[in-house]
Amino acid sequence: MIDGRALSSAADEIISTLMDVVSVHVALVDLDEKRSHARMSSWWFSHELGTEEFEAAALNRAQSSDRVFVRINRRWVMRVAGRGVRTVDDGWIVTFGRSVPLSMEQVAFVERAAERLRPFLPATSKLSEVPSPNGTSGSGSGGAELGIPVWWARKMRN
């Protein structure tokens, strides 16, 4: 759930395709609400998360890493982790080995998916907006926005 609504089917399709084509795990990290939304096979798993490590993420990838963090907008970061190599699949048990590092081609797919998700994920949280005292959403041209020092405005008023 994103701001009380389900993710659009078009955005869900982008993520599902990324998971299938690149063979990765995908999670959307909401920096405003401090939650991670991990895409499972056919549903989403959401949980609270400390977001300090994601705050400065743009494209953050260690050399030979199986994880990539791509910033979608001010609020959202896509966390992608490589799946381990399937070693055994006997129909009852699937065993995965250690994850292999993501290739540059896989990272390019991840970046492209993040670009395509941008229109579907709001840059600000509707739940965290606080209306101004006059009932509007603010964005007026107050003294601080004009660069007028507070001490000068107070002196002129008195």
- pLDDT tens-digit readout, 87-120: 666 767 766 667 778 888 888 899 999 999 999 9
The burial class, CB within 10 Å (0-12 / 13-18 / 19+), for 98 is exposed
Amino acid at 141: S
Q: Are 34 and 51 spatial neighbours (Cβ–Cβ below 8 Å)?
A: yes
Report how far residue 146's alpha carbon sits from residue 55's, in angstroms, rounded to the nearest whole number.
28
Q: Are 44 and 27 spatial neighbours (Cβ–Cβ below 8 Å)?
A: no
Report how far residue 158's alpha carbon sits from residue 152's, in angstroms, rounded to the nearest whole number.
10
- Locate 122 and state its tokens: 């709001």
Report how far residue 41's alpha carbon sits from residue 39's, in angstroms, rounded to the nearest whole number.
7
pLDDT (0 to 100) of residue 115: 93
* Candidate CATH numbers 3.40.50, 3.30.450, 1.10.8, 3.90.550; the one for domain 9-120: 3.30.450
Any residues with CB less than 8 A from the CB of 141 and at least 6 apart, and which? none
pLDDT < 70: residue spans in the chain: 1, 51, 53-64, 84-89, 91, 94-97, 125-158
Domain boundaries, the chain: 9-120
pLDDT (0 to 100) of residue 104: 87
CA proximity to 155, closest of 146, 143, 139: 143
